[in-house]
Amino acid sequence: MNRARLFGPLLGFATLAVVLYLGFSLRDPHLLPSALLDQPFPPFDLPVLGSSGRATQADLKGEVRLVNVWATWCPTCLAEHDELKRIRETGLSVVGINYKDDSADAVAWLARHGDPYAFSVVDTDGDLGVDLGVYGAPETFLLDADAVIRYKHVGAVDETIWREEIAPAIEAIR
C-alpha cells in the first residue's frame, strides 16, 4: 500500500479546516465581499414588472439610487419593505429586481404591501442575480449617478443599516 494515499484524508481535513476558519473569521457574516464594488452595474435588458416595458442598465444612470433584490417568497424582504418605503419618501430612487419569482404574485404582493420601487425588473431565471453575485434575497446595492456599484448589503435594510451604513455612503459619493 502506498503511504502517500494515507495522507490524502489528512490533507483534505486540513484544507477544510482552513476554509472553515477563514469563513468563520469574517468580522460580520453579512459583510460578503463583492467583486463588483466600484464596477459598472452589469448590462441587462429585462421586462418591467406589471408593464409591457423593458429596462436596461441605462435606466439606472442619472442619479444616486438603491437597487434592491427581492421576492415574494422571501420573508426577510417583507421585513425590510416598510424601511424601503420610508427610504423612497426621502427622495432616493429605489429600483427593484424581482428575483426568481412569479410576476403575477409579485404584482399582487406590491399591491397588498405598497410599492417602494420606481420600477422593478423581472429576473425570473436569476441571470441578473448571477451577474451581480447575489447570494439570495434580499440584497441591496448603492449605485452612483453613473450606475457604478459603490456599496452592497446582504440581508434586510433596517433603520440602523440605513443610518450607519447607507446614508453615510450616499453622502460620500454625492
pLDDT exceeds cutoff 90 at 3: no
pLDDT, tens only, 41-96: 999 999 999 999 999 999 999 999 999 999 999 999 999 999 999 999 999 999 99
Tell me the three state secondary structure of residue 120.
Answer: strand
Euclidean distance between the first and final Cα of the chain, in Å?
A: 67
Spatial contact of 117 and 95, defined as CB atoms under 8 Å apart: yes
Q: What is the mean pLDDT of the chain?
A: 90
pLDDT exceeds cutoff 60 at 26: no
d(CA 12, CA 15): 5
Is residue 2 packed enough to be buried (19+ CB in 10 Å), middle (13-18) or exposed (0-12)? exposed
pLDDT exceeds cutoff 50 at 29: no
Tell me the mean pLDDT in the region 146-160. Answer: 97
Entry pTM:
0.81
C-alpha cell belonging to residue 35: 467583486
At 139, give phi and psi (nearest 5°): -140, 145
Quote the radius of gyration of the chain (alpha carbons, Å).
19
d(CA 63, CA 174): 10
Question: What single string gives the DSSP state of each residue in 109-135?
Answer: HHHHH----SEEEEETT-HHHHHHT--
